[in-house]
Amino acid sequence: MSEIQRRILGLPEGRAPIDPRRKPVRGSGRLARKKQPPQASVESPAGAGKGDWRENPRSRRESAPQPDGPPDGASGVRVSKLMSERGLCSRREADEFIARGWVYVDGKRVGELGARARPSAAITLDKEAHAAQHRLVTILLHKPVGYVSGQPEAGCRPAVTLIRSENQRRSFDTPLFHPSHLKGLAPAGRLDADSTGLLVLTQDGRVARHLIGEHSKAEKEYLVRVQGQLIDGGLALLGHGLALDGKPLKPARVEWLNEDQLRFILNEGRKRQIRRMCELVGLRVIGLKRVRIGAVRLGDLPPGQWRYLREDETF
């Protein structure tokens, strides 16, 4: 452009006119020329590779310091679950002990419900928790026909209604019944309304877990009166080889006591298991009585009466 053209357009010397067809350059102008604060340089940690490590989330995770000690927050296992799995108490009791501050994880007191810990953490109980467990009772009841072990059914009453002072069988050294012993009392196993015999009710989660837990090996012994014609090989099938609801039964010990009575010793307790087993081999149960659970026997306890589990007795 000539100098004359510059003067006509009113341009200072040496400055070219703006071409309206020219697209603006991004980042131009006063805002673009504004001085920006210098960026701090960050060296990449060893092994992070090329480029700025802040742009690599994986590098951030790997380089972050890892916490020591038991995991917290959403990690680890609930302390109450660990306590139950180790047989220290039930989940309900564990929550109560934690709330009272009676639980220690790796030597540190835990007082928050829902607290978590490493699966291998050492868990101990305060002496107050042991004292509370010692006060929990376990009751042995001779359940009569017509009572259900658990939830009420039409025409039947719950077995727990028999736990009254007038039904207690006592000796000179047994404690007296107290209404507080009904709090949290629950059956540890089932016994059908049309069956009789030994039923265990307990406040102690450790006892319940031992008798009916997933890995329980406590034996249950029954005397069973039957009618019908046993199929060929039926006795062997009762011992092993039957299935209920598509699931094989665990091996059992079954033998004749006389011409119409069998003895069953089981390590599991499916619903109406013995009656259904007998039906599969041509027999019909007309009477069933449980006489032993683990090492504890019904003995001469009369129907409808109960007693406390003694301190020298264990299942």
Residues belonging to the active site:
192
Looking only at the bridges linking them, the beta strands covering 196-202 and 283-293 are parallel
Distance in angstroms (rounded) separating the CA atoms of residues 94 and 103:
8
State how far the Cα of 292 lies from the Cα of 287, in Å rounded to an integer.
16
AA identity, residue 68: D
Give 130: exposed, middle or buried? Use CB within 10 Å, 0-12, 13-18, 19+. exposed
- Radius of gyration of the chain measured on its C-alpha atoms: 38
Helices 91-99, 205-212: axis angle to 10 degrees equals 160
Contacts of 247 (CB under 8 A, 6+ apart): none
Rounded (10°) angle between helices 91-99 and 127-134:
140
CA dihedral 287, 288, 289, 294 (to 10 degrees): 160
Q: Cα–Cα distance between 190 and 167 in angstroms, integer?
A: 21
CA–CA dist 202, 214 (Å, integer): 18
DSSP state, residue 180? G
Let me know the angle formed at the C-alpha of 87 by 289 and 169, rounded to the nearest 5 degrees.
Answer: 40
- How many CA atoms lie within 13 Å of 215's alpha carbon, on the beta-carbon side? 5
CB atoms within 10 A of CB 221: 19
Cβ(89)–Cβ(203) under 8 Å? no
